[in-house]
Structure 1
């Protein structure tokens, strides 16, 4: 088995995580699927730039994030999504209401806060890996994550304070 085939096989292992992140970045599932496909195509074309022992998932997220930013600049219609509803099996009764509350609160967060929560809290990237994906400093990731968690917690507690607003 060639090194190239193994690398592409590794990329395939990360497709579910790529789809979740793409849905966080985009509004429509078809846009998310297109973003995943574009990301994988670019990764395969540029696989010679991947350096072992780097985390291939973080590298793929970085490619996706850059592609998404480029699409925004090109004015392609891409917006926000209901990611939490898509990644969780439909729970029963009370859990359904709680999930809707979390999804609604997530939508009230800034795009930066949604991205950082998805990368660190859902996808499990380290602060360093998330910083590389977002092209920011590790300290920026830590502070954004802390603010995002605070805002989400406040919204879940019924407070309507978010995006830096003061009561």
Structure 2
């Protein structure tokens, strides 16, 4: 999870304070407009960082954004519904995001009463090599967070300004 501290940015502090001090209907409009601006940017960023078809299906196509009065939450792979083929993004997102070790597995298989050796089974062939910094979500979030903070600030200021002008 990547967090931004509002203590280091006067603009973000102003947005949070402004949304606390306006009426409920205007706060709802700010949240709605902010989500409309942020969601396409977040989906575009995750799609740009996804290189494989599996990454697109699990992370990029499930990218969502939630906006509250206090924060913006970027999500991916939080859907519980299984994709075609049975993979549930909410359960196996970590393997797609961080990769896996290229281990080969040796074991003894059994079919009925007959046993047979299985050598060098590659169980993680479809995944990228292990990377602690991630491949899609974390790089996309690091690249897009300054833009999203700017959009949130501008959207809140514009919505409040339009409300004061009576539009």
Larger fraction in helix: 1
TM-score in terms of structure 1 length: 0.23
Q: Using CA pairs under 8 Å that are at least 6 residues apart, name the structure with larger relative contact order, 1 or 2.
A: 2
TM-score normalised by the chain length of structure 2: 0.23
Higher-Rg structure is 2
